[in-house]
Amino acid sequence: MVLTPAAAERVSALTPTLTPRPKFHVTRKLVGVPKWPLVLLTAVYTINVSDQFLLSSMFPLLKREFGLSDTALGILSGSYLISVTLGTVPFGALADRYSRTRIIAWGTAFWGVTMIFTGMASGFFMLLLGRMVLGLWDPCDNPTSQSLLADYYPVNQRSKVMGIYQMGQLVGFFLLPIGGLMGQAWGWRATFFFFALPAFVVALLSWRLPEPVRGVQERRHQRLESDESTVIASKLQGLSIADAYKHILRCRSYTASLVSSAVGSLFFGGIGVWTPTFLIRYHDLDIAEASTAIIVVALGGLVGVLTAGNLADFLTQSGYLSARIGVAGIARVISAPLFMAAFLVSYTPLMLLLFSFGALFLVGALPPLNAARVDVLHPDLRGRGTSLDAVTQSLASAASPVIYGIIADASDLRTAYLTLIPLAALAGLILLTFALASYRRDEQAVQELVRHDHARHVARLTGDGQELEEPVPMASHGSDPGAGTAQPLTGDHDAAASAEGVESLLRIEGLDFSYGPIQVLFGIDMTLPQGGCHALVGRNGVGKTTLLANIGGLLHAQSGQMFLRDQDLIGIPPEQRARLGITLMAAGQSIFPSLSVRDNLWFGGYHFAGSEGLVDDRLDEVLEVFPALGQRLGQRAGTLSGGEQQMVALGRALVAGPDLLLIDELSLGLAPTVTVELLEVVERIAGLGTTILLVEQSIGVALSVADTVLFMDRGRVSELGPAAELDADALALRLLESHE
């Protein structure tokens, strides 16, 4: 599965041949992807940014109410910034390990709670505690959201997506005056309470966000798989913090972007603080005019983030594969002479115009740079990489106003600007040299890692252990861990299974399921050992098919737990369960009647996309088992007899090579002779190591093929024991009694 360098070059994530080349539009919309996750994450960003300076706009009110000194107010501001910095790195690590949507949901909810707590403060120390805790929650969104966005949206739209997301920050800044007005009208406490309310709304919506699989867009872009729900483990997931950062910093283009951000922040970190003063000193504006002018020219940033994001994606798809770094670097370089001119001219409107364009280019560099940074970070390291960048920028931005002040004291403010503006050009040049030189190589290295992980995953599925560093035992063909042996099925099965050295494959605990108000499954407890064929018998309507549908993921239980080995299945969609090794053969309608036999069989291997040879091999095996199908490969499956249709369904299950095969009513509507033939195949599949759970109404069929028998009545499962020890008549009688 490891591609040659030439092949890797061909299928690299940014290769334009894989995507259509669109025409460039500044406001081109996202195509073919859901927009609401982006809108929601942008809203979260806006809310988190909006509070950053809320406290300072409340200073006069706080000062009067609590009699605080200026030093105390400074401590409140500083403690918040320290907390944000301290919280960023842990949240980055969490984002790489746990569910990102839930991190955002919980983080934003606690952010709202902390805002309310702050609003209830009765003194300085409560205020201080509130601000420090708030600072810890604040970074829950940025590293997490960037990692999420990279997995939500296609690689070729990443820069544009980052641009829209970046708007959240700018909009958050523009909300600050609203906080000030609310404070004056209703008091500072009410302002904090009301600012908390949207947080609860977006937290609730974030909870509903689907959690994409890490790296799924890279896999999709390389066409490694057609489905995106398979979780593929990578070596990088389990790295220690130190090793993870070592790995991240070994990426030259990332490190160059980090240095560029730090250098650039030393310049633009002080712009917001000092430019009003500059306008007052050198352009005779009063404070209100200067503050308004800054807000107006900052609107240039909004245009910048949208334009540059689109432009970088457009150029990338047009064949300039390093365009993201290129656009970011050029934008920063261009911003420098614009700022230089702005701070030299004396005509105020021209100064503001030049300043606007400078802001447009400076801020416009962020989306393509963020996208490029994500490109060169492995999907399992993006949270940490993004958080490291955020910390670096924070520290440099915090130092920037001080540097301006020192230079201004030593000389004057204009000299300070003229001294520091070249740092913007330097930041751009770092990108255009060091980052540009290694970006493609680093980006391809990430693609290669993703491909390698995918190859290992496929090797595991096929049982080809040679490619694995640590082969994972699978119930795939060729292995026979427990086939044909009868293992206990319920109660203390874990203990029993482990005592006999047999792993449990499926474990269900307390599963309840209802169709609306009608409960069908009642606290199902059940454990299937790995290997063997296990029959589930019971009369009509007791919940057998419902139980299978729950295991297969077609229905979702209201409560209870379900594990395939140690994999929690609750919440996992059916297609992902299929990839985990569960195949459901539904009763009666388990083929696609309008498709040919060949296509039906091929469907069994849809999750082996990229491994067509493997599917071909399995297809040949199926035709050996069912030679009759070999003559009818081109025939529409719907025109086959009932028995032949079941053969196709079983054949498709063989191609899938599941660990757990769920068969619902195999004998339904079939002649006894056909049933016998199919049962032989079922035994053969079980003999290959696949665990089978067979739902049957026919006692004879169940006892003839199963190793063990489970009995289901009124939504509850109980164990009957090994099939060989059961009496068919007694079982039939019990079945009849359960009807009464």
Task: Based on the shown chain and the rule CB under 8 A, indicate whether residue 571 belongs to the binding site for another protein.
Answer: yes
Q: How far is the CB of 64 from another protein (least distance, A)?
A: 4
Task: Quickly count: other Cβ atoms within 10 Å of residue 2's Cβ.
Answer: 10
722 DSSP β-pair partners: 708
- Please compute Rg for the chain using Cα positions: 31
Packing angle, helices 271-283 and 413-420, rounded to 10: 130
User: What three-state secondary structure class fits 191?
Assistant: helix
Out of 171, 175, 252, 281, the residue judged to bind another protein by CB under 8 A = 281
For tokens 């036999």, name the residue: 597
What gap in Å lies between CA 579 and CA 573, rounded to an integer? 10
Contact stretch for another protein (CB under 8 A) within 155-163, 182-190, 390-398, 621-629? 182-190
Out of 2, 7, 181, 204, the residue judged to bind another protein by CB under 8 A = 204
- Does residue 88 contact residue 391 with C-beta atoms inside 8 Å? yes
Tokens of 657: 């090579």
Out of 137, 152, 193, 439, the residue judged to bind another protein by CB under 8 A = 193
Contact stretch for another protein (CB under 8 A) within 107-115, 248-256, 341-349, 663-671? 107-115
Q: Which of residues 31-70 bind another protein (CB under 8 A)?
A: 56-60, 63-64, 70
What gap in Å lies between CA 375 and CA 445, rounded to an integer? 10
Task: Based on the shown chain and the rule CB under 8 A, indicate whether residue 687 belongs to the binding site for another protein.
Answer: no
Task: Based on the shown chain and the rule CB under 8 A, indicate whether residue 116 belongs to the binding site for another protein.
Answer: yes
Task: Based on the shown chain and the rule CB under 8 A, indicate whether residue 207 belongs to the binding site for another protein.
Answer: yes
Out of 14, 40, 41, 73, the residue judged to bind another protein by CB under 8 A = 73
Task: Based on the shown chain and the rule CB under 8 A, indicate whether residue 720 belongs to the binding site for another protein.
Answer: no
Contact stretch for another protein (CB under 8 A) within 183-191, 307-315, 402-410, 643-651? 183-191
What gap in Å lies between CA 212 and CA 516, rounded to an integer? 29
Q: How far is the CB of 476 from another protein (least distance, A)?
A: 16
Tokens of 629: 């199908």
Nearer CB in complex with another protein: 285/306: 285
Contact stretch for another protein (CB under 8 A) within 196-204, 329-337, 369-377, 386-394? 196-204
Out of 1, 39, 178, 189, the residue judged to bind another protein by CB under 8 A = 189
Out of 2, 33, 190, 495, the residue judged to bind another protein by CB under 8 A = 190
**How far is the CA of 374 from the CAs of 40, 248, 260, 370, 452, in angstroms?**
20, 11, 16, 6, 19
Q: Which of residues 526-565 bind another protein (CB under 8 A)?
A: 558-559, 561, 563
Task: Based on the shown chain and the rule CB under 8 A, indicate whether residue 504 belongs to the binding site for another protein.
Answer: no
Q: How many residues does the chain have?
A: 740
What gap in Å lies between CA 103 and CA 206, rounded to an integer? 9
Q: Which of residues 118-147 bind another protein (CB under 8 A)?
A: 119-120
Task: Quickly count: other Cβ atoms within 10 Å of residue 418's Cβ.
Answer: 16
Task: Quickly count: other Cβ atoms within 10 Å of residue 546's Cβ.
Answer: 21
Q: How far is the CB of 77 from another protein (least distance, A)?
A: 9
The strands making up 559-564's β-sheet, listed across from edge to edge, are 518-529, 504-515, 559-564, 567-568
Nearer CB in complex with another protein: 120/249: 120
Q: Which of residues 328-387 bind another protein (CB under 8 A)?
A: 380
Contact stretch for another protein (CB under 8 A) within 41-49, 437-445, 518-526, 572-580? 572-580
Task: Quickly count: other Cβ atoms within 10 Å of residue 598's Cβ.
Answer: 17
695 DSSP β-pair partners: 536, 664
Nearer CB in complex with another protein: 182/334: 182
Q: Which of residues 230-259 bind another protein (CB under 8 A)?
A: 231, 233-235, 237-241, 243
Task: Based on the shown chain and the rule CB under 8 A, indicate whether residue 28 belongs to the binding site for another protein.
Answer: no
Task: Based on the shown chain and the rule CB under 8 A, indicate whether residue 500 belongs to the binding site for another protein.
Answer: no
Nearer CB in complex with another protein: 155/679: 155
Nearer CB in complex with another protein: 280/353: 280
What gap in Å lies between CA 397 and CA 391, rounded to an integer? 10
Task: Based on the shown chain and the rule CB under 8 A, indicate whether residue 624 belongs to the binding site for another protein.
Answer: no
Contact stretch for another protein (CB under 8 A) within 273-281, 320-328, 442-450, 514-522? 273-281
Task: Based on the shown chain and the rule CB under 8 A, indicate whether residue 112 belongs to the binding site for another protein.
Answer: yes
Task: Based on the shown chain and the rule CB under 8 A, indicate whether residue 298 belongs to the binding site for another protein.
Answer: no
Following DSSP, what letter does each residue of 374-427 receive, concatenated? HHHS-TTTHHHHHHHHHHHHHHHHHHHHHHHHHHHHHS-HHHHHHHHTHHHHHH
Task: Based on the shown chain and the rule CB under 8 A, indicate whether residue 287 belongs to the binding site for another protein.
Answer: yes
End-to-end CA distance of the chain: 59
Nearer CB in complex with another protein: 97/734: 97
What gap in Å lies between CA 178 and CA 191, rounded to an integer? 9
Number of residues that bind another protein (CB under 8 A): 78
Nearer CB in complex with another protein: 375/380: 380
What helix, strand, coil percent values describe the chain, rounded to 5?
Answer: 65, 10, 25
**How far is the CA of 415 from the CAs of 273, 286, 419, 422, in angstroms?**
16, 21, 6, 12
What gap in Å lies between CA 150 and CA 218, rounded to an integer? 9
